[in-house]
Every structure is written in C-alpha cells, then in structure tokens.
Amino acid sequence: MELNMSTIKIAVIPGDGIGKEVIPVGMRALEAAGRKHGVEFEWTEFNWSCETYHQTGRMMPEDGIEQLSKFDAIYLGAVGFPGVPDHISLWGLLLPIRRAFDQYVNLRPVRLFEGVPCPLVGKQPGDIDFYVVRENVEGEYSSIGGIQYEGTEHEIVSQQSLFTRRGTDRIIKYAFDLAQSRAKKHLSSATKSNGIYHSMPYWDGRVAEIAQSYPEVNVDQFHIDILTANFVRMPEFFDVVVGSNLFGDILSDLGPACTGTIAIAPSANINPEKTFPSMFEPVHGSAPDIAGQGIANPLGTIWAGAMMMQHLGLPEMHDSLMQAMESVLREAEHLTPDMGGQANTLALGAAVVAAIEHAA
Ligand code: ATP
Ligand code: MG
C-alpha cells in the first residue's frame, strides 16, 4: 500500500442507523482540516449494510475485501440493525474486514474533555486519559465449536477461544510499546486466570515474559471483574490497558461511559505493519433508538478520522481535528443531547468545521 500524500483514497462505509448520519459529518471535518494542510480526499462510498443484506443475502459482495484492499484506509460508521441478527452483521462485514486486513490492534482512547459532564463524582479533565488496547482478530471471537444433540434435553453447546503465541505476543508488545512512549509508562493487563483455565494463565505468562524486555514500564494485572470496578472507582490510575478481544470490547465501552458519553469514543482497527488498509470507526453502534432523528453525536466519528490521519502519517491533520473538537467541547454551546446539550448532529459538525477554519 503506497500512500500518495496529496490525495488520500478512502473507502467509506456509512452502514446502518446513525452510521449514515455521522459519517458525512466526519468527512466534512476531514475535508476542512485538509483545506488547511493541503490534503485532498478521494472518497469512494460503499452502501454495504443490513439493507444490502435484506436485498442480496450478504452484508457485502463476495469480492468486498478485494475492493477495499485498494484504499489507503477505511472509514466506517456502524453496522447492525433490528431485523438482522447481530452475529450476521458482525460476521458478514466487520470481522472479515478486521481479519482479512490483519487489523490485529484495536486502539481505543478514553479521555475526559473539558465541557463534558462526567458521571463520576469529582473527576476533572486530565484525570481520565488512557488507552484500551484490544486484541482484534482472535481470542473469544471465534466460530470454533458447535452444538450436539440439538433439540434434545441433552443439548451441549461448546464455544472455543483461540489464543496463538503470535497473536498474543504481538498485541501485548504493541501495548508495551505504547506504554513505553507515554509519560506514566504504566501497563495494566486484563485477565481472568482464576476462572478461565487455559487461555488466561497463558496470557498472563506472555505478559510476564514480554515485560522483561520493557524494564521501564510498570506492569500490573487485574481480573476483569475488579478491573471494571476500578475503571469507575479510580480511572486516573490507568494509562494503557491491554485485553483480549472480549475483555477489550467490554472495557472500551465502559471507559468512555465513565467520561460522560460512549458517543465520543473512536476505535482504530490497525494493521501496524501497514501491509493492508486500517479501518477507523466510532466505538458506538448504529443506535436504532435514535436513528433518523438527526441528534447523534458525531464526535466519535470525527475523532476516528483524526486517528486515521495519525496512522497515515499526517499528525498536523490529527492535531487540527483534535484541537477543534476540544474547543467546541470547552465552549459547550453545541453539545448533542447525550452530552447534556440540545444541538443536533449537523450543528455540532458545523461547529467543529468552523473551529478548524478559525484556528490559528
Ligand atoms: P454495537 O453492538 O454495534 O456496539 P450497541 O448495542 O452497543 O451496538 P449502540 O448502538 O452503541 O449499542 O447504542 C447504545 C446506546 O448509546 C443507545 O442508547 C444509543 O442511542 C446511544 N448512542 C450510541 N451512539 C450514539 C451517538 N453517536 N450519539 C448519541 N447517542 C448514542
Ligand atoms: Mg457496543
């Protein structure tokens, strides 16, 4: 994958529900930053969604992966909608993309911004600022297993997790590298080695061994149950938190919820080697309960766009977007209802674009 710095080729998959409402707002914010920094976008939109599934029986065409492979990055809204079972939308689009492009890192920052009411008593901006590093292609998200004696009273369902040495080591190393690059140099590992007999003691062992190569990083580990409690009790303790596919998923909804809204949080599905395109999306889903109302918070999508720029080696684009987001939140005049305001999606998006344009 060669990156042509003047024109960036992005595959856009708005998807379902509010995905279709927030993605255009993210595109306009990226274009605004691009105008400042001489970066142009070539957008190619794919209407792959649950609607497509109803029409064709597939979430994306058979050669979908091949089509996406030609792009510098993928910008995704959300997929999944009532009427299509969740496992179909997930296994029909999201998981194949993550796996085909070996996007084995799911990086999810959690930060409390000035201007956003925090549900945790006494927490100030600056108190909450950490990363969840989620393993993104193996672990508990597996289709290995099955059902025996189906339809009888002896039914047995088995579901296997898969932890490879390569897969486990590379995500743990990524998390250590990230911790090493930060001021606190603190890594917490999510485990459940008291209850999960094979995979979690293995995970803990790999963390302990890899830790020996990072003597400057302070490491600890927590069982997932107390770890979730600690996110709420003392979020300021955390710096980088690494977890398996399932644990990372849970932590990366809980973390942003502790900062006032999950809707602000981005999710970067990264192929660190840049052999394949990486994919950037908000953490939130298609939110059927508010879809069509025009009130979805677009900031998770805008922040995901900023992470996309960072990944593509354009830190000044990233910084423009983040500074604009921070100033709009600080002023708190254009907040969507999930953040306690009354603005709609387009008004908040327009405020971000204006902040990018007016920045020094
Ligand atoms: P998924 O399984 O795809 O992660 P989910 O079941 O976790 O989806 P979401 O679609 O993320 O659910 O929605 C969870 C709640 O958060 C809903 O009440 C929804 O309205 C709210 N929500 C999600 N995204 C936004 C947003 N961008 N703006 C405002 N509210 C949102
Ligand atoms: Mg969710």
Instruction: Give the per-residue pLDDT at 5.
Output: 56
Rounded Cα distance, 203 and 164, in Å? 10
Residue pLDDT, tens place only, 115-155 = 998 999 999 998 999 999 999 999 999 889 999 999 999 99
Rounded Cα distance, 237 and 188, in Å? 10
- Kindly indicate the confidence band of residue 360, based on its pLDDT and cuts at 50, 70 and 90: confident
Q: Among 98, 106, 284, 295, which residue has the most ligand 1 atoms within 8 Å of its CB, making it the best to mutate?
A: 284
Instruction: Give the per-residue pLDDT at 91.
Output: 86
Instruction: List beta partners, residue 287.
Output: none
The closest-lying atom of ligand 1 relative to the alpha carbon of residue 286 is 10
Would you say the CB of residue 338 lies under 6 angstroms from ligand 1? yes
* pLDDT of 10 above 70: yes
Question: What percentage of the chain has pLDDT greater than the value 90?
Answer: 90
**Residue showing tokens 């690494």:** 242
Question: What percentage of the chain has pLDDT greater than the value 70?
Answer: 99
The closest-lying atom of ligand 1 relative to the alpha carbon of residue 22 is 27
Report how far apart the first and last C-alpha atoms of the chain are (Å, whole number).
Answer: 33
Compute, in angstroms, the gap from residue 253 CA to the centroid of ligand 2: 6
Q: Which of 261, 282, 260, 278 is nearest to 269 (CA)?
A: 278
Q: Is the pTM of this model over 0.90?
A: yes
- Kindly indicate the confidence band of residue 313, based on its pLDDT and cuts at 50, 70 and 90: very high
Would you say the CB of residue 18 lies under 6 angstroms from ligand 1? yes
User: Minimum-distance ligand to the CA of 94?
Assistant: 1
Average pLDDT over all residues of the chain: 95
Residue pLDDT, tens place only, 241-299 = 999 999 999 998 899 999 988 999 999 999 999 999 999 999 999 999 999 999 999 99
Instruction: Give the per-residue pLDDT at 2.
Output: 45
Rounded Cα distance, 168 and 170, in Å? 6
Instruction: Give the per-residue pLDDT at 201.
Output: 97
Instruction: Give the per-residue pLDDT at 131.
Output: 97
Compute, in angstroms, the gap from residue 91 CA to the centroid of ligand 2: 15
Give the ipTM: 0.94
Instruction: Give the per-residue pLDDT at 1.
Output: 45
Rounded Cα distance, 280 and 304, in Å? 5
Nearest CA to ligand 1 atom 19: 287
Of 30-44, 80-94, 190-204, 295-309, the one with minimum mean pLDDT is 80-94
Q: Among 262, 281, 339, which residue has the most ligand 1 atoms within 8 Å of its CB, making it the best to mutate?
A: 262
Compute, in angstroms, the gap from residue 274 CA to the centroid of ligand 2: 27
Amino acid sitting at position 296: A
Instruction: Give the per-residue pLDDT at 133.
Output: 97
Assigned token pair, 62 = 């058979």
User: 101, 270 in Cβ contact below 8 A?
Assistant: no
* pLDDT of 184 above 90: yes
Assigned token pair, 113 = 């911004």
Residue pLDDT, tens place only, 65-106 = 999 999 999 999 999 988 898 888 888 999 899 999 999 999
Q: Which of 120, 98, 99 is nearest to 110 (CA)?
A: 120
Instruction: Give the per-residue pLDDT at 249.
Output: 92
**Residue showing tokens 């992470």:** 307
Rounded Cα distance, 50 and 87, in Å? 12
**Residue showing tokens 């942003």:** 256
Would you say the CB of residue 324 lies under 6 angstroms from ligand 1? no
- Kindly indicate the confidence band of residue 6, based on its pLDDT and cuts at 50, 70 and 90: confident
Instruction: Give the per-residue pLDDT at 181.
Output: 97
Compute, in angstroms, the gap from residue 178 CA to the centroid of ligand 1: 28
SS (H, E, C) the chain: CCCCCCEEEEEEEEECCCHHHHHHHHHHHHHHHHHHHCCEEEEEECCCCHHHHHHHCCCCCCCHHHHHCCCCEEEEEECCCCCCCHHHHHHHHHHHHHHHCCCCEEEEEEECCCCCCCCCCCCCCCCCEEEEEEECCCECCCCCEEEECCCCCCCEEEECCECCHHHHHHHHHHHHHHHHHCCCCEEEEEECCCCCCCHHHHHHHHHHHHHCCCCCCEEEEEEHHHHHHHHHHCHHHCCEEEECHHHHHHHHHHHHHHCCCHHHCEEEEECCCCCCCEEEEECCCCCCCCCCCCCCCCHHHHHHHHHHHHHCCCHHHHHHHHHHHHHHHHHCCCCCHHHCCCCCHHHHHHHHHHHHHHCC
